[in-house]
């Protein structure tokens, strides 16, 4: 029988919180596996076993399990009795061994009553595979590694594990509002924080009819992809049209972007407070554009009472793009629909905005009333 064997990450260190972490991890795993068949999910020490109970789509289940935050590694393992001959035969049937140029065996014996020691298991299984498959053994740079694990209830054989999603289980670190644009950066920022256990409340500002309905759909699609990692999300779509028009009309040109950002922060803060979220997450990256100089970031942060988390702050564009490809958002992010931030952008934005000047600019119009109005018309979308 084939099972999915997963290795828990750093949460095994979390002391008293461990059981909370573990139950949230297992319930997320159960939820992602459910569409692929019935699985029995259980844990022992730092290992989690997902055992099919009947007909299951193992490929689909394995791919989905690879997106559960909290596991560092996972593999498809063959289960067999704790009997050397049976173990040898199972190892022989491992997919991937036939095409390998060389191999080695690694053994782990949790059940010390098993009559072979780990080195003896390596010798017995390695010798058998070498003779049967005529496959060279290479202990330093093996083409494939055959793992033999003797556990309490059964023996397991598998080849190299795949990398897990890493991080901490969903929701174990609290809740934050994600300012989600249609760009490359903010979905990655959200993914990185979700991976640290934050549950996300995505908020998107649109300027319909200046921005198109497709731009909205694009953001919902990005949230759907994020949800495939962290669970279903509810996106809040906020109309920013009136605020942007007011800013364009009343704000000195070079401060338009900073005022726009600050207004977004204030509205997002209010949404966070109403929904029990403790922080905001943005995709800001130091020096990437005029609104992301240190001075501009500081003036923007000043508008937020809640901490502003910027997980991409020190990442290069290429690193962010690479992560976006891993997350699966890259192709959607580069679709050409415009973001509301692209509207009314000044030709020469202020790269070193002064707080006093910004506060003075905000006094020229009653943005507070407009923001309160905007908060009344939030469109919620479950993805």
| Site of tokens 């496959």 | 135
Q: Confirm or reject binding of residue 181 to Mg ion (CB under 5 A).
A: yes
Span of 40-48, 80-88, 180-188, 324-332 interacting with ligand ATP by CB under 6 A: 180-188
Site string for ligand ATP, 246-275 (x = CB under 6 A): ------------------x-----------
Residue 21 interaction partner, one of ligand ATP, Mg ion, none, beta carbon < 5-8 Å per kind: none
| Site of tokens 């049937």 | 93
Q: Confirm or reject binding of residue 291 to ligand ATP (CB under 6 A).
A: yes
Q: Confirm or reject binding of residue 371 to ligand ATP (CB under 6 A).
A: no
Q: Which is nearer to ligand ATP, 68 or 280 (CB)?
A: 280
Residue 272 interaction partner, one of Mg ion, ligand ATP, none, beta carbon < 5-8 Å per kind: none
Site string for Mg ion, 290-329 (x = CB under 5 A): ----------------------------------------
Q: Confirm or reject binding of residue 283 to ligand ATP (CB under 6 A).
A: yes
Task: Looking at residues 183 to 202 of the shown chain, list those that interact with ligand ATP (rule: CB under 6 A).
Answer: 183-186
Q: Confirm or reject binding of residue 183 to Mg ion (CB under 5 A).
A: yes
Binds ligand ATP by CB under 6 A, chosen from 340, 358, 361, 370: 340
Q: Confirm or reject binding of residue 179 to ligand ATP (CB under 6 A).
A: yes
Q: Confirm or reject binding of residue 315 to ligand ATP (CB under 6 A).
A: no
Residues that bind Mg ion in the complex, under the rule CB under 5 A? 181, 183, 339
Residues that bind ligand ATP in the complex, under the rule CB under 6 A? 179-181, 183-186, 203-205, 264, 282-284, 288-289, 291, 339-341
């Amino acid at each position: 029988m084939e099972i999915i064997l997963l290795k828990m990450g750093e949460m095994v260190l979390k002391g008293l919180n461990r059981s909370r972490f573990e139950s949230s991890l297992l319930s997320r795993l159960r939820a992602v596996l459910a569409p692929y068949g019935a699985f029995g999910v259980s844990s022992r020490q730092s290992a989690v076993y997902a055992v099919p109970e009947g007909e299951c789509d193992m490929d689909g289940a394995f791919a989905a399990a690879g997106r559960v935050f909290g596991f560092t590694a996972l593999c498809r393992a063959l289960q067999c009795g704790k009997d050397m001959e049976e173990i040898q035969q199972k190892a022989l049937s491992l997919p991937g061994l036939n095409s390998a140029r060389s191999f080695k065996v690694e053994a782990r014996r949790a059940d010390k009553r098993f009559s072979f020691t780990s080195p003896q298991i390596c010798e017995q299984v390695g010798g058998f595979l070498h003779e049967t498959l005529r496959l060279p053994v290479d202990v330093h740079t093996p083409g494939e590694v055959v793992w033999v694990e003797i556990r309490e209830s059964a023996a397991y054989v598998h080849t190299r594990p795949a990398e897990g999603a890493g991080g901490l289980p969903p929701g174990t670190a609290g809740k934050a509002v994600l300012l989600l644009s249609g760009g490359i950066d903010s979905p990655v920022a959200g993914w990185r924080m979700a991976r640290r256990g934050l549950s996300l409340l995505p908020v998107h500002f649109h300027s319909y009819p200046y921005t198109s309905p497709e731009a909205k759909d694009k953001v919902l699609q990005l949230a759907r992809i994020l949800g495939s990692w962290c669970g279903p999300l509810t996106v809040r779509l906020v109309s920013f049209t009136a605020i942007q028009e007011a800013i364009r009309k009343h704000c000195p040109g070079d401060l338009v972007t900073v005022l726009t950002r600050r207004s977004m922060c204030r509205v997002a803060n209010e949404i966070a407070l109403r929904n029990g979220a403790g922080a905001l997450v943005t995709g800001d990256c130091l020096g990437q554009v005029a609104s992301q100089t240190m001075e501009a970031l500081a003036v923007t942060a000043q508008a937020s009472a809640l901490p502003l988390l910027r997980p991409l702050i020190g990442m290069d564009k290429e690193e962010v793009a690479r992560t976006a490809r891993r997350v699966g958002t890259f192709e959607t992010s580069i679709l050409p629909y415009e973001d509301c931030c692209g509207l009314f952008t000044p030709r020469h934005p202020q790269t070193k905005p002064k707080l006093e000047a910004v506060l003075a600019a905000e006094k020229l119009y009653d943005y507070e009333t407009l923001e309160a109005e905007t908060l009344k018309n939030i469109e919620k979308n479950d993805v």
